[in-house]
Each structure stands twice: as structure tokens, then as C-alpha cells.
Structure 1
Amino acid sequence: IARKEKIEAAAKAWARKKEKEIVYLGENVSAGLNNLQDSDAERLKKNNLTDIASAEQLAALMKIEMGQLRFLSYHRAVSRVSHYKKFTIPKKTGGVRTISAPMPKLKTAQHWILENILDKILLHDAAHGFVNKKSIVTNATPHLKSEVVINIDLKDFFPSVHYPRVKGMFRKLGYNEAISTIFSLICTEAEQDEVEIDGVKYYVKDGNRKLPQGAPTSPAITNIICRKMDARFTGLSKKYGFAYTRYADDLTFSASGDALLKLKQFIALVKKVISSERFTLHPDKFKVMRKGARKEVTGIVVNEKPAIEKKKLKKFRALLFQIEKEGSIAGKKWGNSKNLLAAIKGYSNFINMVDPVKGKSLIDRANKILEQHKFAHVIVHKAKPKVEPVVIQKTTSTVSQSQYVSTTTAATQQVAPEKTDSKKPWWKFWS
């Protein structure tokens, strides 16, 4: 009887502990979960963030039960459930892009982290992708009328950022080991294989945890991680007489005149920085556009003023004329989109953003077509409730505002030229 009572008492004690603490979240990720004392109050204050002392406090702030927090952050080798829905969409350049869209409960948790933590962090001025009041136009503008423009793409940008690096980012923001672990597990996913045994589907871990392309937190995390790289490239560019901007994984450098005498040396140094920052240059997406050639930056022609490629603009006008003349959209397409009307809406908005003079008439024509064909473009964010922000005391950052800008939940503000999926375009999967 005494033994039974001891077992029952131990079970109750363990149950109480689980209600207030998270002591294990899976193999190779749980070592620091007991370390709740090493937060950096000075860094948290500098970043305008509140200290979160425990998993219990975090769950309360997120307004979820401890059991749900544990479920969302648990690192499983084998599971019968997945927190992500995976699918592919076509790329403009060919091939497919794999999207890992978080399920509603995980997406809600990610939005909480985004709005209460990541959005508060100051970014480098060179960052333009998923940044408040910035766009592909602001990214292209510094390169106008340059004699040479260099476009570089970072290969597998989100997937190349693994769990330890994400955890290190949260630690550098000032959070303790335990909270940084939980945040990093929520914001990353493990590579998985789907295996079916006796009619039951299992998800088996088959690789490292990494940033998912489709999570609302991924763009903000990469922007924060890239602050050092952006600063290095800005300094290097200034030294050699170049301009530099970054839109997510697209890096652009430009220069004119005597600066081009050291072009080869400059490119070699750029490649060196990319490698030292643990990224990989995409060999098929490295372009040097020289004097006399058409120069594009994030889809915008920058030879003189921000402009749309003439050939593509002419083709779009022809598409609108055809639909207006025939009164039918049957058999017609724009880009890789499965939804022609959504693609027309997206591209006309893109033109208007780049060139409002040309864009106004095209938007009017596009809207008439959309109205005629009863197009209703409604995106419902079921997993994005109104989140009450964490209330903290205002502080003054020591970081220069001229060098850094504040990040935002700006995925919904980015405008891209085409819609590539009938339900939601890829650039809005982060919203």
C-alpha cells in the first residue's frame, strides 16, 4: 500500500510539474529547458522586449494551455500528426516551390511571436523585403541609371537557416535558454518523410529542423539574422563605390564610372561574405548586367526610371484587349497562375505600384473584367486573431535609426507581379 501511495503521489507531483513547467521537448533539444535564469535584461530592454521568465508565463501571454504549448513545440522523431500542410507551386523560372503552410494553432502561435517579438526588432536600412513602408520599388530605386547592376540569389534561403541559428538569434535578443528553445521549435520544422504502415500514415523525421517556407515568422527571422550581412555589404559597397539592397534572398549591387575598374575584385569579396555568413550563392541566378543592356531589379527595369518590361507590358495589354473583345476568359492564361482573374488583378496592381500613370488605366480595365466575370478575391486568415500585445515599458534604443528600420508583419503588404496559386499567391503565405 505504501508503495502504491508513493507511486500515486509521484504521479500527482509530476502532473503538477507538467502544468507549470516544460522539462522535455524531444531528443537533442531539451538540454536547456531547465535554464530559466540566464536572460539578458539589458538586451531585452534595448530591443524593447519583455522578459519571459518561464513556459507558464509564456503560455499565459499567448493565452493557451501548457499542454498546447508543449504540443506545438515538441520535437518528434515519429508522429501521426503534422503541424504543416505541404504543397508545391510553380516557379516563374521553372520547377516548383515547396510551401510548408502551418496548421491554424501553430500559425496562431507563430503570429504571436511575430507581433510581440520579431516585429519590434530594428532592421538594417538595406533590407526591403517584408519591411513596413518598403517594397520592390524602394528596393530597385537605389540602382536607377547605374552602368552595371549585379543580381545575386541566395540558394534555399529559408531552409538553409537551421534550428541552432534561430535559437542563437533569440538568445542574442536577450531571452533565456528555455524560452529561446521553445520559440525556436515553434518557428522551425523538421524534414519529414510520410510513411504508411497498415493503412496508418506516420511522419518520420528525416533531417534537421529549419525555417519553413510558408510560416509567417520566417521572413522576419531571416531579416534579423541578415542584419550583420547587410551591414558588411553596406560597408563593402561604400568602400568600393557601389549601392546595395536586399529583398529577402535577392541581393543587388550597382555602380557606375571608376568603381567598375574593381568590379571583379568586388564580386570576389561579395562571394566571400556570402560564404562566411553561411549562405550559398545560387549559381544559376547570378547576373551581371552591363552598360547598354536592360537592367532589372526585383522585376523592375532600372535603366532610367522604375519601369515595367515593355514586352511584358505589351503582352498584358493584348490579353486585356482580347478578353474585352471576346467577352470570355476561356483558354487564356497569365504566367503560371491557375487563376487568370487573380493573376490579372495582381499584375495590374504591380504595374500601378511601379508606374501609376500607366497603371491607373490598366487597373480600371482590369476591374471591369473582374466585375464582368464576378471575381471575388477573399483571403481569410483563420489563424490570425487579434493578438493583444505584451505591455512593456517604453525604452530608447541605442541603435541609430538612420541605420536600422523596424520590421513589421509586412507579408500582406508586398506586391508581386503574378498570382501563382488559385487560393493564395506565394508571397502571401507568410501572412
Structure 2
Amino acid sequence: MEVPSQVPLPQSAKPHLLFLVHRIPFPPNKGDKVRSYHLLKFLAQHYQVHLGTFVDYADDWQYVPALDEFCASVCAERISPRLARVLSLRGLLGGEALSLPFYRNRRMANWVRDTVGAHRIERAVVFSSPMAQYIDGGIAGHCVVDFVDVDSAKWTRYAEDRSGLMAWLYRREGLRLAAFEREVAQRVAASVLVSEAEAALFKSVAPEAVSRTHAIGNGVNADSFSPQHDFTSPYATGERPVVFTGAMDYWPNIDAVCYFADEVWPAVLARYPDARFHIVGMNPSEAVRALAARPGINVTGTVPDVRPWLRHAHAVVAPLRVARGVQNKILEAMAMGRPVVASATCAVGISARQGEELFVADATPEWVEAVSSLLADTARAEQAGQLARQRVLSDYSWEAHLQQFRQLIEGERKPLVGSVGAASVGQGHMNERSNDC
């Protein structure tokens, strides 16, 4: 896990900016939080940032004070995922996407309204589409929304793997969320996606906003994720470790490791009995924990630092079948100088030469062959890892990517009129939750 750099508190001369994020952007220990953390750190260099965010895991409350290093003010609202899922069903009555009432909160809306008014804020950045419900009035025309991925397409894809009521519910969420994404894109200054492929897909969802849709990719802290660090190997002597990293309560990650364990790993293990598949990540679901009972599979749960697990792996795999955007887990492994085998879905948007800097597999036989070949030929694996790191160094600088956000924020703006907050959220659907605002 990265630690926050010593960024000084914003000076009064810097303009104020509202930053809304659906999940606390610290610590940067999972995909969306890596991007939102680096975006927050960058914005703090140029603006007095007023951060509104939600805390969905109790352990993350300890990190709220760390946000003061970057922010002029913080509103951190508690959200219980289990309760929020129940409350989100109100969306069925109102005909809206369930993701919106999931993140709907009266105190957050009031804080946004009051903060914008008190500081006469004219700039806003929204991270994740549901947070755009808090943006209203004139500030919307000065707002940059980082959708990251096309979430509506994700829900539609989930429906393909479900049946009955859940399939219907996921398809409905895809349709309703697409309508909301389109409405947001039409009223904000700019929409941002994590890759050119996601941007192209978003343009089909919101064709009216094509000229204001942009791709800004992820980056990697290549000093932190570097093979130059002297990490002790977490693996047993003599084994051939293959590793997957990610938050293991996230359904696409669960689906990925279960597929790999069911379809790919038995054939790899038959060829290389000393191979071992390590599933490294926080909050493993029951289905993931059960995989540890199988031959050659280890489920770690939370680890203090994922980098040793990457650095000493013979191969890193990303067999996601349901994925949107650029996967940080791939870029981090490449930065660590490791050979990566990824599904075609994950490889889209990564500027790496396939077969040299990144290996791509889709069908099960392709997966078996790709992983087996890296375990068999360590010299080839090492060379691929070195090339992968060079690709990260040349193409994936956070600073270069995030400068594009500032260009969008400081683009042509109109005079500020109207208000922000409560009107767009819908007072009739608010729920009270505890907060630290």
C-alpha cells in the first residue's frame, strides 16, 4: 500500500474545488481507490479541495483524519452496504437506477449545498456516476465527471450470468443507469473514462456529449511498484507461484479466480505439481475461501503489502471475464517487472505488445498454455517482465495523465448561476445516516 506524500495544505490563493467520491479515496488499496487517491493528491496541488465521500468499511474510518493533509474540508458519511442495498429498492418505485438511492444521503446533500454557497465554489470533480446526483444548477456546467467505466454496461453484462429475478433486476439497472449517465453527460462540462475503448462505448450511450467525452488512463507509482525494492519472498522454497491480486469481495474478481481454479488450474498443476496459485486480497468471499481446500491453492486474505507477492511470482494472472476499463492490478504487476497473463477484456486499453510485454488468453486451452509456458521458461518470463516495466515507465505516469484533468477543469466556463445539492437529490427519498461532516 502506498503512503501519502507530504503534500502541503492548500494555500488560500488557490481556488476552491468540490470533489465528490463514492468511496473514501484512502488508502489506495483497491482499484477505484488507487485512481481516486491519485486524483485527490493531484487536485490538492492546485486547489483548495472540499471532499464529500462515503465510508463503507468500518476499518476505513481510521483513515479519515489522513484526508486533512489534502483537503480544506471533508464530509465523510457512513454507508452500510447491506442496509443501502435494501434502501436502494426504493428506486423501483421511482423508476430510477438503484445505484442512486444506494448513495443518497440528506446530510451529504446539505453539506454540498452549504459548502458550495459558503466558498462560492465554481469548480467540481465527481468520481463515479451515482455521485453526480449531488450536482445541480450552474455548477454542473463547470463539473468534470470521472465515470471511470461505463457502469451501465457492467450491470447489463452481470445480467448475462444470472437468471430469473436477478437477471431482470440487473438488466433494469443497466437500462436505468444508462439513462442517468446520458442525462449527466449532457449537463456537465466534461465526461472522463479510463480508456479509449470505454470512451467509445460511453459515446454510444450519450451521443449528444461526444465532443465533451475524454479518455484519461490510469497510472502507476513506478517508484513504489518497483523490482528494485528488496522484498522477502512470501513463498515456500522451490514452488512455482502464480498470483492473482484484488479485493476478493468484488464479484468480477470472485468470478475470475473461481473460473481459473475450476477450468485452468487443474491442467497447469498436472504439468507442474510444484506450482501454487495464490489468491491475494482483502475480504475473500465464502466461495473464494473454499478454494483454499483444493490442491495447490492458497487464499491469503488481507496482506500488509501486496508488492512482495508480485515481485516473487513466476506469473501474475488476471482472468477477469466481467471487467470494465483498465485494471490497476495489471499495471502494478507490470511495474514490478512480472509477466502477466490477462483476459482480452482486461488487456483492452493497455498499450503493451501482446506476446512480448503482456500475454492475452481467453479460451481455457489458451490460459493453460500461456501460464504453463511462463512456468516452464523462466528466462522468457523474466524478459517479458522487464519489457513490461519499461512499458509502464514510458506510458503510465500519473502526473502526465492527471494534467489532462486540470485542462478540463480550467476550460471555458460560464457564469455561476443556480444552486447545487438538495434539489437534484430529491428530498422525498433522503435517508439519515451518521456522519462526520
Is the TM-score greater than 0.5? no
| TM-score between the two structures when normalised by the length of structure 2 | 0.26
Q: Which protein, 1 or 2, shows the higher relative CO under an 8 Å CA cutoff with sep ≥ 6?
A: 1
Structure (1 or 2) with the larger CA radius of gyration? 1
Higher helix share: 2
| TM-score between the two structures when normalised by the length of structure 1 | 0.26
